[in-house]
Amino acid sequence: MSIFEALMLLCFGLSWPISIAKTLRTKRVEGKSPLFMAVILVGYLSGILHKLIYSRDWIIFLYLFNFTVISIDLRLYYKYRPRPEKPALPS
């Protein structure tokens, strides 16, 4: 266990609930990138797997928390993403 790893995960972990709260409040997702969130999810999944295979300690809960909140934020992106307007039918 590294105190620096824990601190990094805590710092990153604090930003995602703020992002989720803003999305829920405004129902807008402009400026968010689903690709970026997916890449971050892969990174946290790698951290979880590393902890499970090589280094079991309590830090895995920080990885799981971060993975969970980013998953929620990504889900909200797809719920509130702008959709193209359907063309009006000719009358």
CB 23 within 8 A of CB 72: no
The pTM is what?
Answer: 0.85
- Output the six-digit token pair for 82: 């702008």
How far apart (Å, rounded) are the C-alpha atoms in residues 82 and 39? 21
Residue 74: predicted pLDDT: 96
Residues near 86 by beta carbon (within 8 Å), at least 6 away in sequence = none
21 or 88: whose pLDDT is higher?
Answer: 21
Taking residues 60-65, report their average pLDDT: 96
**What is the set of domains in the chain, with CATH numbers?**
3-80 (1.20.1280)
